[in-house]
Amino acid sequence: MDRVLVTGADGFIGSHLVESLIESGYKVKAFVYYNSFNSWGWIDSFKEELKKEIEIFSGDIRDPNGVHESMKNVDAVFHLAALIGIPFSYHSPDSYVDTNIKGTLNVLQAARSLKTKRVLVTSTSEVYGTAQFVPITESHPYQGQSPYSATKIGADRIAESYFRSFELPVTIVRPFNTFGPRQSARAVIPSIITQLLSGKNKMKLGDLTPTRDLVYVKDTVNGFIEIFKSDKTIGEEINIATQSEITIGNLVKLILKIMNKECEIETEEIRIRPEKSEVKRLFGSNEKIKKLTNWKQKFDFETGLRNTIEWFSDPVNLAKYKSDIYNI
C-alpha cells in the first residue's frame, strides 16, 4: 500500500503528516478545504520541490460526492479533517456535527464502496473528558464535555460500527495534546509564545490549573505512520501519548525560562471554559501503541518546545498570527 489520501492535509497535524509520509516513500494525495483564495493551508509554505510530489484535491469533507471522488485509486486514507476549536463549538455546534460526524461518515461510506484497504480515523483525547483514572487507557469512559468532544465521540463510534458491521479495516487514532510548528493560536502553547514574541508585558490566559499530556507533532505523525504499518491495529483505538502531564501554569513558567522572558499573567474571563466543560486532567497511557507497533517517543518535551519557539521566532512565521486577539 503506497498511495494514500490525507484529509485535513492543509492543517497543523495534517501538513506534518503529509511531509512525513512523502519522506517515508508514500505517494500522497492531499485533501484540502476548497476556498476562493485557492489556498492549500500550510502546504502553501512547503518548498516547491516538495509541493510537486503532492497531488492536491480541493473539496469539502461534508460533501459525500467529493469525498468519494477523492478516495478513488488510493490504498488508504488518513482522515484528519475536522473542526477542532472548543470555544467555537459552544456557539456553532451544527457545523461540528456536519464536519466531524457527517464528514467521517462520508469517508467510511466511500471506503466501504471503494474497498479501501485501510482507514485511519483521527480521534482526540478530549473524548475522555477529565481523567477518572490515570494514565488514561483506551478503556476509559467517554465524556462529552463540549460539543466538539461529543461530535468526536460520535465519529469514533460510527467508525467502530463500520468495522463491526461491515468489516471495514478501520483504526481509531487518538492523539493527546499535540503541539509544534504551524499550530493554531487557538491552542495554549502558540498563544503563550506569540504573546511573548509580540513584546507584551502582560499575557492573557485562561485557567492555569488543568494538566495536559503534550506530544510533539513529529512524534504524533510518527504514531500515525507506525499504526498504519501494523496490521495488529485494525479494529483498535489507540492513544498517542507521552504518559506524562504538566499544568498550564508550569508550562508558562517553562516557556518563560526557555525564552528568557518575564511577563505578568492576566486571567481573561473569555478564555475560561464553563466549569463542567473544562477538562481538568489529561494524562494518557501509551502502553497499547508500544505493544502493537514500533512507535516510541523520540522528542522529549523541552526539545519539542525549543523547536516550536524557534519556528515561531521566525518573523515570516510569526506574521501569520494575530497575538493581539483571542482566537477561538
Query: What is the pLDDT at residue 323?
Result: 84
Q: Which CATH superfamily is domain 188-210+245-285+296-318 in?
A: UDP-galactose 4-epimerase, domain 1 (3.90.25.10)
- CB neighbour list of residue 94: distance below 8 Å, 6 or more residues apart: none
Residue 242 CA to its chain's centroid (Å)? 15
Residue 220 to residues 133, 215, 216, Cα–Cα distance (Å): 23, 7, 6
318: left (phi over 0), alpha (psi -120 to 50) or beta: alpha
- CB neighbour list of residue 319: distance below 8 Å, 6 or more residues apart: none
Q: Which of 144, 87, 145 is nearest to 270 (CA)?
A: 87
How far is Cα 146 from Cα 150, in angstroms, rounded to an integer?
6
Q: Where are the domains of the chain?
A: 3-180+214-240, 188-210+245-285+296-318
Query: What is the pLDDT at residue 328?
Result: 77
Three-class secondary structure of residue 267 per DSSP:
strand
Alpha-carbon radius of gyration of the chain: 19
Confidence band (pLDDT; 50, 70, 90) for 19? very high
**Cα angle at 270 between 266 and 273, to 5 degrees?**
105
Q: What is the mean pLDDT of residues 30-52?
A: 97
How far is Cα 158 from Cα 207, in angstroms, rounded to an integer?
33
| The model's pTM | 0.97
pLDDT tens digits, one per residue of 206-262: 999 999 999 999 999 999 999 999 999 999 999 999 999 999 999 999 999 999 999
Helical segments of 208-293, H only: 217-229, 248-259, 287-292
Quote the percentage of the chain above a pLDDT of 90.
95
Class of domain 3-180+214-240: alpha beta
**Cα angle at 76 between 71 and 78, to 5 degrees?**
90
Query: What is the pLDDT at residue 325?
Result: 84
By the 10 Å C-beta count (0-12 exposed, 13-18 middle, 19+ buried), 262 is classed as exposed
Other CB atoms within 10 A of residue 141 CB: 10
Q: Per-residue b/e over 28-41, b at no fewer than 16 CB within 10 Å? A: bbbbbbeeeeeebb
